[in-house]
Amino acid sequence: MNTREMFAKAVDGGYAIPAFNFNNMEQLQAIIKACAETKSPVILQVSSGARKYANQTLLRYMAEGAVEYAKELGWEHPQICLHLDHGDTFELCKSCVDFGFSSVMIDGSSLPYEENIALTKKVVEYAHQFDVTVEAELGVLAGVEDDVVAEESHYTKPEEVIDFATRSGCDSLAISIGTSHGAYKFKPEQCTRDPQTGKLVPPPLAFDVLEEIEKKLPGFPIVLHGSSSVPQEYVDIINSHGGNLPDAVGIPEEQLRKAAKSAVCKINIDSDSRLAFTAAVRKVFVEKPGEFDPRKYCGPARDEMVRLYKHKIIEVLGSDGKAE
């Protein structure tokens, strides 16, 4: 399904739809199992990197298989959207629309304002003919957005959102209020340190900017990218089992909980799943050095991801029970 009805219900209900990236079978199994067990709607996201790694055709049919798998797990009416994450050209978005994706993102956030509108509008005009919904982005996140490198983040300007949404015709809007991609969302100098644990405490998100945007576009679906919280228990397991992730830091879950209650109705999480996977695999490698059957370390990694996704759905996004 596309995102239209999912978002309308999420905005009304004060919760957010999980948008989880997938690159491999174990991740997809874990997402579907977590969503089936919690009856949560879900957006399965495919990035350009995922297409390169796993092949777009394979990923598309895996997503189709996932719907059947969900039913096998007893989820009678699965609500699953297949979404292109960070599409950067019209041609890429068109190919995903033609190929059966139900939603696409056109990320023109690195372009000048008018070019972003023109590109988004072109994608919207094409996608809507096939009832495919379109996410756009205004404002620049810090860090690396697939191939789009932003030197510095700049928050979305609330005074631009009405014009942008109206003229581009987009169905949802990703905004910049201080989140960013990856496991290093803030430099140590942007944070304070907890005197007890020595861990970094990140600066808060710009909720004032979010509120301004909500006032300008009441009820319009807002999206947050870069919303992993980088659970310190995974970072600690990784670091104590031969890894090296110094000062990895994410967005605190209370802030995401607060955002999910607002017009934010899609929250993107990828890095946390990578951390869960890596922590579980590293643990097996250290504790059972004789193990060489990938099912013996990918299996525990999958179980850990199921726990992570269920936690996000129930404790952070509030989307459990919304797709009975």
Q: What do you get for the CA distance between the two ends of the chain, in Å?
A: 15
- Closer CB to ligand 13P, 80 or 224, in the complex: 224
Residue 228 contacts which entry, ligand 13P, Zn ion, ligand G3H, none (Cβ below 5-8 A, type-dependent): ligand 13P
Q: Which residues have CB under 8 Å from 31's CB, separation 6+?
A: 20, 22, 42, 44, 66, 305, 309
Least gap, CB of 24 to ligand 13P (angstroms): 16
Determine, following the binding rule CB under 6 A, whether residue 47 of this chain makes contact with ligand G3H: yes
CB 45 within 8 A of CB 109: no
> Nearest residue to ligand G3H, using CB?
49
Least gap, CB of 179 to ligand 13P (angstroms): 7
Determine, following the binding rule CB under 6 A, whether residue 21 of this chain makes contact with ligand G3H: yes
- Closer CB to ligand G3H, 20 or 297, in the complex: 20
Q: Which residues have CB under 8 Å from 63's CB, separation 6+?
A: 28, 44, 46, 80, 82
Q: Which of 225, 266, 282, 283 binds Zn ion (CB under 5 A)?
A: 225
Determine, following the binding rule CB under 6 A, whether residue 59 of this chain makes contact with ligand G3H: no
Active-site hit among 12, 85, 147, 293 = 85
Least gap, CB of 289 to ligand G3H (angstroms): 29
- Cβ atoms < 10 Å from Cβ of 320: 17
Least gap, CB of 242 to Zn ion (angstroms): 29
Residue 146 contacts which entry, ligand 13P, ligand G3H, Zn ion, none (Cβ below 5-8 A, type-dependent): ligand G3H
Distance CA 214, CA 133 (A): 20
Distance of alpha carbon 33 from the chain centroid? 18
> Nearest residue to Zn ion, using CB?
225
Point out which span in 43-51, 67-75, 108-116, 294-302 binds ligand G3H (CB under 6 A): 43-51
Least gap, CB of 196 to ligand G3H (angstroms): 31
> Is residue 18 helix, strand or coil?
strand
Determine, following the binding rule CB under 6 A, whether residue 50 of this chain makes contact with ligand G3H: yes
CB 31 within 8 A of CB 80: no
Distance CA 69, CA 283 (A): 29
The structure tokens listed for 295 are 């099912």
Determine, following the binding rule CB under 6 A, whether residue 181 of this chain makes contact with ligand G3H: yes
Q: Where are the alpha helices (DSSP H) in the chain?
A: 4-13, 25-38, 48-54, 56-72, 90-98, 113-128, 158-168, 207-216, 232-240, 253-260, 271-287, 294-311
Residue 282 contacts which entry, ligand G3H, Zn ion, ligand 13P, none (Cβ below 5-8 A, type-dependent): none
Distance CA 224, CA 260 (A): 9
Give catalytic status of residue 85 as yes or no. yes
Least gap, CB of 250 to ligand G3H (angstroms): 12
- Closer CB to ligand G3H, 45 or 319, in the complex: 45
Distance CA 32, CA 158 (A): 36
Long-range contact pairs involving 156-163 (C-beta distance under 8 Å, separation at least 24): 156/209, 156/213, 158/209, 158/212, 158/213, 158/215, 158/216, 159/216, 160/113, 161/213, 161/216, 161/217, 161/220, 162/216, 162/217
- Residues at the interface with ligand 13P (CB under 6 A): 21, 85-86, 181-182, 225-228, 268-271
Residue 283 contacts which entry, Zn ion, ligand G3H, ligand 13P, none (Cβ below 5-8 A, type-dependent): none
Over the window 103 to 142, marking each residue x when it contacts ligand G3H by CB under 6 A and - when it does not, the resulting string is ----------------------------------------
Where does this chain bind Zn ion (CB under 5 A)? 225
Catalytic residue list:
85
